């Protein structure tokens, strides 16, 4: 029989026993997606299955690509306008209807998941009666839509609720967007079985068909009830109010609409029949996909992240290199973390400190992390031992012989940094890449006195290194393209995300996060209620509240940076602009002896175990003023705007050159709220708060900046480049 033309992305293979294998294989793309060709192919495939039903025993769905199925096409989704919402709704209906026809055909359908099945891929698998996944590192299973501000709308909410029950569907699958490997997916109930080889995958699929000739979904069986109950049952209903309350607590009041809509779709959908549940799910999806937050999140977490990681900023035409053996200088908090990250990526590490004990202590940090991972089943004893064997602690510079890269992480002191580079530059490999993990010092200054200053570069990690995905690469004035390319490759080798910036004091991240902290601290100086300032940061979506973050970083640090910066500005003939936060910080340290967490006292009080307790009551006593109050939205926007405006200044000064780097760096490095899509996307997609819906996009942002300038000072004056673009009706970037 000739294939109908409409089956363009699905191959139809029927064997002599009556088993039809639908092979997902889009000829025009490297991965299968829910594009229009797939939609028509799916309809055609299900039509044909229905037409030839009598000669069919069962159906296997698998893929000819490395991934099983990649999900929705984000280029389409980010472009959806409210006017097209109905269209999006209708298009989704097609897939939902076809998957429903498939699962109610009366024949066993098996998903033979041969690679990643995330989002739409897992939704296809959910419509199958039996799900088996190939157990390889590439197999990832889950519904990560929430991380892009969306929900799974091809039956993902409706079916996971019916498969796992409301609570497990929300907690294990929908709200966090957790991605499982094959065995964990099986243990969590997302799939039924795993297979070790592609052959076994298909053999098991066939065996299921042989054994279950008349399959149906559990939710279509007579007497089916949603596991764990539904709000229609009094016991469940009594617990229901805790759901939104917990969610609110988890989000800390931050404006992420997807979790709310997911919760609503799951709960409402559980009380109605399957078809109605799918309609409810679709309605909540349309609301999300036409809103600004999903566009921001898709831009940042998909397009920008891809641009950054794929090397849009890496100099072209330089052959990639891998590092074999790295010298980490300084085994303190950062050096220990960097050593772990490098060893984890298979690199030999020589970890050097001033004494063997200090170096050994740095290595012990890796042991601690690995023991924890071992106890949680996340690593094996063999892997643990192999990783540790790659770290050689030492106090002897001679042990650095042969290292092809150096990452320096000694105290933040120019003279000391100069000294350690001088000491090792003739011991390591003659062309070794020379990196400093300084968090604030100019790279050009540190490179002075290093013989090969073209090979010298900043590699700014974030703490804790094992958890933080970003590394800021800083190009000094004399850094060569070769060094930049090698630094980029090294960051990718250890599976982190590299952004590239030009040299300046504080680079991009340390400088911009300083604005956030200063703004919060300045509000204390204005007499505002400290708890409100903290709450404003949380509700704006910052992962760390502003005063608690200041305490973590210690209050003496900004003082030191401030003094050094003042000296540099004045030496260059400029005028130093003090910040209203300065006085608060000075009083906290000098008058009240509260330098932050490491000193046992800061904006917060700390228990004997070092744990943060309550806000220090003295703040209210010494700073708060009766009647001092400003709108809550102003508190939030002062923090957001201070960082966004300083980022624009970074572009004007040439510190930043890439919008994707700015967006990703701000979210991954310094906790700029993810719902914004990053500092620049926040400006481009700006939406005024309640009652200020007239303020939209860059012009709205500029108007609002001027309002903040009038109310709170010239640091909110919109930079010239922004004003010009707003007047021309452009975005900051396309």
Among 63, 366, 438, 666, binds ligand NAI (CB under 6 A): 438
Whether the CB-CB separation of 397 and 426 falls below 8 Å is answered with no
Whether the CB-CB separation of 661 and 667 falls below 8 Å is answered with no
The smaller minimum CB distance to ligand NAI, of residues 307 and 358, is found at 358
> At closest approach, how far in Å is the CB of 338 from ligand NAI?
9
> At closest approach, how far in Å is the CB of 494 from ligand NAI?
15
Q: Which residues are catalytic?
A: 123, 145
Listing DSSP states for 656-685 in one string gives ---HHHHHHHHHHHH---GGGTSHHHHHHT
Residue 70 makes contact with ligand NAI by CB under 6 A:
no
| Binding piece for ligand NAI, criterion CB under 6 A, among 369-377, 454-462, 603-611, 639-647 | 454-462
> Nearest Cα to 664, choosing from 459, 476, 471, 461?
471
> At closest approach, how far in Å is the CB of 359 from ligand NAI?
8
Among 273, 317, 411, 694, binds ligand NAI (CB under 6 A): 411
Burial state string for 313-349 with b = 16 or more CB within 10 A and e = fewer than 16 = bbeeebeeeebebbbbbbbeebbbbbbbbbbbbebbb
Alpha carbon distances (Å) from 123 to 8, 71, 119, 141 = 21, 9, 6, 10
Tally the C-alpha atoms within 13 A of residue 497's C-alpha that lie toward its C-beta: 22
The smaller minimum CB distance to ligand NAI, of residues 205 and 407, is found at 407
Among 50, 412, 526, 564, binds ligand NAI (CB under 6 A): 412
The smaller minimum CB distance to ligand NAI, of residues 196 and 354, is found at 354
Among 239, 463, 710, 721, binds ligand NAI (CB under 6 A): 463
Among 12, 301, 461, 675, binds ligand NAI (CB under 6 A): 461
C-alpha 688 chain-centroid distance: 25
Please provide residue 475's backbone torsions phi and psi, each rounded to the nearest 5 degrees: -90, 120
> At closest approach, how far in Å is the CB of 544 from ligand NAI?
13
Among 110, 343, 409, 635, binds ligand NAI (CB under 6 A): 409
Residue 439 makes contact with ligand NAI by CB under 6 A:
yes
| Binding piece for ligand NAI, criterion CB under 6 A, among 346-354, 568-576, 603-611, 709-717 | 346-354
Listing DSSP states for 379-392 in one string gives S-HHHHHHHHHTEE
Please tell me the distance from the alpha carbon of residue 91 to that of residue 78, in angstroms, as a whole number: 15
* Residue number, nearest CB to ligand NAI: 332
The smaller minimum CB distance to ligand NAI, of residues 178 and 548, is found at 548
> Nearest Cα to 459, choosing from 447, 445, 474, 469?
474
| Binding piece for ligand NAI, criterion CB under 6 A, among 157-165, 208-216, 269-277, 325-333 | 325-333
| Binding piece for ligand NAI, criterion CB under 6 A, among 206-214, 234-242, 278-286, 333-341 | 333-341
Residues that bind ligand NAI (rule: CB under 6 A) add up to a total of 24
Residue 334 makes contact with ligand NAI by CB under 6 A:
yes
The smaller minimum CB distance to ligand NAI, of residues 34 and 441, is found at 441
Alpha carbon distances (Å) from 454 to 125, 389, 433, 479, 585 = 53, 32, 9, 4, 39
> At closest approach, how far in Å is the CB of 563 from ligand NAI?
15
Interaction pattern, residues 347-376, with ligand NAI; x per rule: CB under 6 A: -----xxx---x------------------
Q: Whole-angstrom distance between the N-terminal and C-terminal Cα of the chain?
A: 49
Listing DSSP states for 303-333 in one string gives IIHHHHHTTTTSPTT------SEEEEE--SH
Q: Take residue 191 and report the two structure tokens written for it.
A: 């799939």
Among 420, 432, 524, 640, binds ligand NAI (CB under 6 A): 420
Residue 27 makes contact with ligand NAI by CB under 6 A:
no
Whether the CB-CB separation of 373 and 343 falls below 8 Å is answered with no
The smaller minimum CB distance to ligand NAI, of residues 221 and 411, is found at 411
| Binding piece for ligand NAI, criterion CB under 6 A, among 323-331, 373-381, 665-673, 690-698 | 323-331
The smaller minimum CB distance to ligand NAI, of residues 396 and 477, is found at 396
Listing DSSP states for 227-242 in one string gives TT--TTSHHHHHHTTH
**Residues of this chain that bind ligand NAI (CB under 6 A):** 329-335, 352-354, 358, 409-412, 416, 420, 437-439, 460-463
């Amino acid at each position: 029989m000739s294939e109908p033309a409409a089956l363009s992305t699905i191959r139809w293979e029927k064997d002599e026993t009556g088993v039809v294998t639908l092979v997902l294989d889009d000829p025009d793309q490297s991965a299968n997606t829910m594009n229009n060709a797939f939609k028509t192919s799916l309809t055609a495939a299900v039509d044909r299955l229905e037409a030839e039903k009598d000669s069919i025993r069962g159906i296997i769905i698998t893929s000819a690509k490395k991934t099983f199925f990649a999900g929705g096409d984000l280029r389409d989704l980010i472009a959806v306008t409210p006017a097209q919402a109905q269209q999006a709704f209708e298009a989704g209906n097609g897939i939902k209807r076809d998957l429903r026809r498939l699962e109610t055909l009366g024949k066993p359908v098996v998903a033979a998941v041969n690679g990643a099945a995330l989002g739409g891929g897992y939704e296809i698998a959910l419509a199958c009666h039996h799900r088996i996944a190939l157990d390889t590192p590439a197999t990832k299973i889950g519904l990560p839509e929430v991380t892009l501000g969306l929900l799974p709308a091809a039956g993902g909410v409706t079916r996971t609720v019916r498969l796992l029950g409301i609570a497990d569907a929300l907690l294990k699958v929908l709200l966090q967007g957790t991605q499982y490997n094959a065995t964990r997916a099986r243990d969590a109930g997302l799939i039924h079985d795993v297979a070790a080889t592609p052959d076994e995958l298909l053999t098991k699929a066939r065996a299921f068909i042989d054994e279950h000739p008349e399959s149906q979904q559990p939710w279509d069986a007579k007497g089916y009830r949603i596991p764990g109950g539904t709000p229609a049952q009094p016991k469940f209903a009594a617990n229901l109010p805790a759901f939104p309350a917990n969610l609110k607590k988890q989000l800390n009041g931050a404006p992420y609409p997807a979790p709310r809509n997911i919760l609503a779709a799951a709960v409402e959908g559980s009380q109605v029949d399957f078809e109605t549940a799918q309609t409810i799910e679709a309605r909540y999806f349309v609301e999300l996909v036409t809103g600004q937050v999903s566009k921001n999140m898709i831009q940042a977490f998909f397009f920008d992240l891809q641009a950054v990681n794929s090397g849009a900023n890496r100099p072209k035409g330089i052959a990639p290199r891998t590092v074999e053996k790295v010298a980490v200088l300084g085994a303190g908090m950062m050096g220990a973390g960097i050593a772990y990250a490098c060893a984890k990526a298979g690199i030999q590490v020589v970890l050097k400190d001033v004494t063997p004990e200090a170096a050994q202590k740095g290595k012990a940090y890796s042991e601690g992390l690995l023991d924890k991972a071992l106890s949680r089943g996340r690593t094996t004893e063999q892997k643990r031992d192999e990783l540790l064997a790659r770290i050689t602690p030492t106090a002897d510079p001679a042990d650095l012989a042969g290292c092809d890269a150096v990452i320096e992480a000694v105290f933040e002191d120019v003279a000391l940094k100069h000294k350690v580079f001088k000491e090792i530059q003739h011991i390591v490999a003659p062309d070794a890449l020379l990196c400093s993990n300084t968090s604030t010092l100019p790279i050009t200054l540190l490179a002075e006195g290093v013989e090969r200053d073209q090979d010298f570069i900043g590699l700014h990690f974030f703490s804790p290194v094992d958890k933080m995905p970003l590394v800021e690469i800083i190009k000094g004035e004399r850094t060569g393209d070769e060094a930049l390319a090698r630094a980029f490759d090294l960051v990718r080798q250890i599976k982190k995300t590299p952004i590239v910036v030009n040299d300046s004091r504080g680079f991009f991240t340390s400088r911009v996060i300083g604005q956030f902290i200063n703004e919060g601290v300045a509000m204390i100086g204005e007499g505002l209620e400290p708890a409100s300032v903290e709450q404003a940061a949380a509700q704006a979506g910052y992962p760390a509240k502003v005063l608690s973050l200041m305490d973590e970083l210690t209050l003496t640090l900004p003082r030191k940076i401030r003094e050094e910066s003042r000296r540099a500005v004045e030496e260059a003939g400029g005028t130093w602009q003090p910040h209203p936060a300065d006085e608060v910080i000075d009083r906290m340290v000098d008058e009240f002896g509260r330098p932050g967490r490491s000193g046992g006292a800061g904006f917060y009080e700390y228990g004997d175990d070092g744990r943060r307790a309550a806000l220090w009551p003295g703040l209210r006593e010494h700073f708060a003023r009766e009647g001092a109050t400003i709108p809550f939205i102003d508190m939030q926007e002062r923090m957001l705007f201070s960082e966004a405006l300083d980022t624009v200044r970074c572009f004007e000064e040439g510190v930043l050159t890439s919008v994707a780097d700015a967006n990703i760096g701000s979210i991954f490095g310094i906790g700029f709220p993810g719902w914004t899509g990053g500092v620049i996307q926040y400006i481009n997609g700006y939406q005024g708060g309640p009652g200020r819906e007239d303020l939209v996009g860059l012009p709205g942002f500029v108007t609002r900046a001027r309002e903040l300038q009038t109310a709170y000072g010239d640091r909110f004056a919109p930079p010239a480049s922004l004003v010009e673009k707003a007047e021309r009706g452009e975005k900051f970037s396309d």
